[in-house]
Amino acid sequence: MQKRVETPEWLRAAEEFEASGLTQREFAEGRGLRLSTLQSWVYRRRRQVGAAVETPVRLLPVQVSSAPGPATTPLEVALPSGVRVRFGPDADVEYLARLVAALERGAC
């Protein structure tokens, strides 16, 4: 029979995850925890706090390869994984931000 983790321990782990800036998968693997266990702890902590904790913004490095061209130049996003996605100059910036975040998480 496994030892039940006491409330202060899982609460502390959930708080450390929230402050880490890591994905739940990265944090769980780094701590030797099951992902589902961490997810449960984070969910319970957020319910205790009473409001969803906003995910911190993760900034990614940007490399400008050339000066901007005319308005018809497509926008290209290159992820560290090697994935490149091109968009027209009139693409919705909020949509692009959500798409890049999903690609980074590997959710697609």
For the cut 90, the answer to whether the pLDDT of residue 5 exceeds it is: no
> How many CB atoms neighbour CB 6 within 10 A?
9
For the cut 80, the answer to whether the pLDDT of residue 7 exceeds it is: no
The encoded tokens of residue 40 equal 């449960």
Confidence bin at 84 (pLDDT 50/70/90): confident
**pLDDT, tens digit, 9 for 90 and up, residues 19-76:** 888 899 999 999 998 999 889 988 888 887 765 456 677 788 888 777 665 656 777 8
Q: How far apart are the first and last CA of the chain?
A: 37
Of the two residues 53 and 7, the one the predictor is more confident about is 7
